Amino acid sequence: MKTSQSQYLGVRGLNYHVRSWGDPSAPRVILLHGAQDVSASWQFTVDAMKKDWHFIAPDWRGYGMTDWSGSQSYWQPDYTADLNVLLEHFSPDEPARLMTHSLGGNIAGVYAGLKPERVRLFINVEGYNVPSVTVAETPKRYKAWLDATAKQDAPPRSYPNYAAFAERMQKGNPRLTSERALFLAQHWCKDTEGGGVTLRSDPAYGRASPLCYRLDEQSLYWSNVTAPTLWVEGGQSDWLHILLKSGEYDKRRACYRTLTTERFENAGHNIHHEEPERLAELCERFLLEH
């Protein structure tokens, strides 16, 4: 297992934890994790890379060892602004290579459209997946969010130990090996004072959002992306099937100017947990080509 280093960086009033692997003089690749995940989840993919790279992976606000927002709210614009600061620090002199998953891909897709000159290459693993909603749904969503903010978030569920949480992860994803599940559990969770372990992530992230995720708006960002883009999808992913059923799958892919699509037929949403060796081979080839 390749050794990672940790550092902390002030980002818009929060103390951000950033994990890195490799020689700082090697080509930089920024790794962006998804929701309910942490930077360490890229370990399996990093281990499978053959060439020398300098991987830099932040824990998003509210996750891992980065501060929680403090406002009990998590907005896409805030994540995008955080990414802007992170790239100014870690890739100030050249456009960034972005390798992303889920939430990370959604954030990077917006950023790459707003600042195309700052992104050299975009690898999007299952990060095209948020279902669209209509403006007509906004009042209902807004009210649900207001009602949620008036209530105190329930504390994160506790588990007897890391092995128990790893077992819970495998129940949710039977394609996840026991070894990888235990590794993830040790990074997703932390010890509690009364014994046992609990999630590091802020429970407020799971609240309903009043914001609408609209395809017509997102398309404006995606259609402005100039970086070569690799779209990686899991054949067993619920998100993929939701998009196929909604009829939005082809519309989303058509937004990108330069798009390569790869499907891992036997993988679900968390491809980097399930088939990291194959993912590493695919992504490394794309990195070297561009």
Query: Where are the domains positioned within the chain?
Result: 4-133+212-289
Pick from 227, 242, 207, 238: which is nearest to 289 by CA? 227
* Residue 266 scores a pLDDT above 80: yes
Helix (H/G/I), strand (E/B), else coil: 188: helix
At residue 92, what are phi and psi to the nearest 5 degrees? -75, -25
Binned at pLDDT 50, 70 and 90, residue 60 comes out as very high
* Residue 159 scores a pLDDT above 90: yes
Distances (CA, A) of 8 to 14, 18, 70, 72, 79: 10, 6, 18, 22, 17
Its sign, for the CA torsion 285, 185, 163, 172, is negative
- pTM for the structure as a whole: 0.96
> Among 46-60, 120-134, 224-238, where is mean pLDDT lowest?
120-134
Distance CA 147, CA 141 (A): 10
Helix (H/G/I), strand (E/B), else coil: 145: helix
For the chain, give the percent of residues with pLDDT over 70.
Answer: 100
Q: Is the CB of residue 271 less than 8 Å from the CB of residue 279? A: yes
What is the assigned CATH class of domain 4-133+212-289?
alpha beta
Strand partners, 19: 6, 57
Distance CA 237, CA 241 (A): 7
- What would the two tokens of residue 8 be? 């902390």
* Residue 211 scores a pLDDT above 90: no
**Residue 67: per-residue pLDDT:** 97
pLDDT digits (tens, 9 = 90+) for 99-137: 999 999 999 999 999 999 999 999 999 998 788 888 888
- Mean pLDDT over the full length of the chain: 94
Q: Is the CB of residue 95 less than 8 Å from the CB of residue 44? A: no
* Residue 1 scores a pLDDT above 80: yes
Who wins on pLDDT, 206 or 282? 282
Distances (CA, A) of 170 to 12, 119, 125, 174: 36, 35, 21, 5
Provide long-range contacts, Cβ within 8 A and 24+ apart, for 250-257: 251/215, 251/219, 252/128, 252/215, 252/218, 252/219, 252/222, 253/128, 255/218, 255/219, 255/222, 255/223, 255/225, 256/222, 256/223, 256/225, 256/229, 256/231, 257/223, 257/225, 257/226
Pick from 261, 263, 262, 257: which is nearest to 222 by CA? 257
Its sign, for the CA torsion 123, 129, 135, 141, is negative
Binned at pLDDT 50, 70 and 90, residue 5 comes out as very high
Its sign, for the CA torsion 95, 100, 103, 109, is positive
**Residue 132: per-residue pLDDT:** 87
Distance CA 55, CA 70 (A): 28
